[in-house]
């Protein structure tokens, strides 16, 4: 009857040079010595023994062939190659026994057909499990000790750093990109997706491309940019085990790439964007993020659950029953969205018209606010990159004319450049469109006379985007108090402006 050979190595085994090829060579010599006919080698390279046999690629095929009766005995280099826990070893042995398939080790002498052999196998399995646990604990303690000494515990370093003499040091080329990401997000006002689009189009190496990961396109995604903006390592604090509970985390200091001020600015903007995001809202709440409750201090949020196709409301988040039985619900009143938004919009117009100083302050703030200056800045950046791509295309054509590169290579390179240029042009067109739609041209000439007349003329026809931008710029916060009037509890609205008259 033919025999099967199962070989496996995990990462720690490879580190100790116990490669899978050593097991294969040993098995061939063993079978030649004992005159055994090999049906097939089943090789699981770089897989942990804690993974069940049926979930491994070669292990799963081995069990299928065993059920088909392709071999009569399974040989392993050592019992811990089959599994790392006693329970898994015994379970696999029982499964093979039901199929009349024997289990033998080429380096450990036991016969599973006898009671003493089964006992010995169980003992060896227990030893393998203890060995695995000991290795894991030793590795954990080694990392803990390295962290306590300020050394890198192992694995690839964060983007923006490199490891020299087991210490994290700044990778200057990658650090420039980290600083650019924070600048585009906090100073230029771009969102994470816009930053990712720009980095991709401009050809900045992504974390995967920087690590030379095979078959990985040099593409940035919004999630990668978000990961950079939220990683505390860039402000000088590396957290080991950040997915664990705080009591199991370890922190150590590392070189700073982003100063605390820029970090906090990015953190505040991320929180603000998260709260103010429109997401899938069917109604555009113009005052989202601006309204708070005078009774409990919590924020008001948009609520259309009681609209039944008629009205939308702003309500205090403290009125929700999902806060728990032990938390008292807020008694503040709901406010109809259309009434509150009209009230605030009218007050903003009156506030601007009657105040001379506010116009100058408004001009400065709106021209530096997201949606104005950021769009202009990013368009300027894109124009520079487009110019660089045009020059690059010219160099490719020059190389082709001189015969340095062939027609096929030139065509491939030009196709890549055209795709990049198309992406850049699309992004530029979109930004220019957004700038027009948000009324940036209107805001570029904020004089007392023109603004007053335009606001009066466009009061009823102003777009939701313009209303939202103007109110968000002018208003610091809106407090809804609940007062008793004529025996009834009614809302009272207080508008606090960013500017002093």
Give catalytic residue positions.
10
Q: What residues contact 424, with CB distance under 8 A and at least 6 apart?
A: 201, 382, 385, 386, 389
Taking the C-alpha atoms of residue 182 and residue 263, their distance in angstroms, rounded to an integer, is 8
Hunting for tokens 């368009």 — which residue is that?
Answer: 379
E-strand ranges in 17-99 read 38-45, 73-76
Neighbours of 39 (CB within 10 A): 17
Burial-class residue 172 by CB neighbours within 10 Å (0-12, 13-18, 19+).
exposed
In a 3-state reduction of DSSP, which class is residue 253?
strand
- Give the span between the Cα atoms of 334 and 327, in whole angstroms: 19
Taking a C-beta distance cutoff of 8 angstroms, is the pair 42, 76 a contact?
A: no
Residues 480 and 291 sit within 8 Å (Cβ to Cβ) = yes
Length of the chain: 501
User: Dihedrals φ, ψ of 342, to 5°?
Assistant: -65, -45
In Å, how far from its chain's centre is CA 411? Answer: 36
């Amino acid at each position: 009857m033919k025999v099967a050979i199962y070989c496996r190595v995990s990462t720690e085994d490879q580190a100790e040079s116990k490669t899978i090829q050593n097991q294969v060579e040993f098995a061939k010599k063993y079978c030649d010595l004992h005159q055994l006919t090999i049906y097939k080698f089943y090789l699981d390279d770089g897989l942990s023994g804690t993974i069940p046999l049926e979930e491994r690629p070669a292990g799963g095929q081995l069990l299928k062939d065993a059920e088909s009766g392709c071999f009569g005995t399974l040989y392993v280099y050592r019992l811990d190659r089959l599994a790392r826990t006693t329970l898994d070893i015994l379970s696999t042995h029982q499964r093979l026994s039901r199929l009349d398939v024997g289990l033998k080790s080429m380096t450990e002498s036991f016969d599973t057909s006898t009671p003493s052999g089964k006992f010995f196998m169980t003992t060896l399995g227990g030893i393998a499990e203890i060995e695995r646990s000991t290795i894991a604990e030793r590795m954990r303690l080694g990392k803990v000790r390295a962290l306590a000494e300020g050394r890198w515990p192992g694995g690839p370093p964060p983007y923006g750093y490199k490891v020299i003499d087991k210490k994290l040091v700044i990778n200057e080329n990658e650090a420039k990109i980290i600083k650019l990401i924070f600048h585009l997000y906090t100073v230029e006002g771009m969102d994470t997706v816009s930053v990712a689009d720009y980095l991709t189009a401009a050809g900045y190496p992504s974390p995967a491309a920087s690590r030379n990961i095979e078959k990985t396109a040099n593409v940035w995604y919004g999630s990668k940019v978000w990961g950079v903006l939220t990683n505390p390592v860039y402000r000088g604090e590396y957290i080991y085990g950040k997915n664990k509970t705080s009591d199991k985390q370890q922190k150590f200091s590392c070189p700073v790439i982003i100063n605390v001020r820029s970090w906090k600015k990015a953190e505040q903007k991320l929180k603000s964007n998260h709260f103010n995001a429109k997401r899938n809202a069917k109604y555009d709440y113009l005052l989202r993020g601006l309204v708070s409750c005078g009774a409990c201090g919590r924020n008001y949020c948009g609520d259309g659950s009681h609209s039944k196709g008629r009205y939308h409301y702003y309500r205090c988040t403290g009125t929700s029953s999902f806060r728990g039985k032990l938390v008292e619900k807020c008694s503040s009143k709901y406010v109809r969205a259309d009434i509150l938004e009209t009230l605030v919009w009218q007050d903003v117009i009156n506030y601007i018209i009657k105040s001379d100083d506010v116009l100058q302050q408004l001009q400065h703030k709106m021209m530096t606010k997201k949606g104005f200056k950021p769009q202009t800045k990013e368009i300027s950046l894109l124009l520079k990159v487009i110019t660089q791509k045009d020059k690059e295309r010219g160099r490719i054509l020059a190389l082709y004319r001189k015969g340095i590169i062939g027609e096929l290579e030139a065509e491939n390179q030009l196709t890549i450049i055209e795709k990049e240029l198309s992406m850049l042009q699309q992004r530029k067109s979109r930004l220019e469109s957004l700038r027009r739609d948000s009324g940036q041209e209107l805001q570029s000439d904020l004089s007392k006379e023109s603004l007053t007349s335009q606001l009066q003329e466009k009061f009823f026809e102003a777009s939701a985007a313009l209303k939202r931008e103007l109110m968000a710029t002018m208003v610091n916060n809106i407090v809804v108090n609940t007062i008793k009037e004529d025996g009834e509890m009614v809302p009272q609205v207080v508008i606090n402006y960013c500017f002093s008259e």
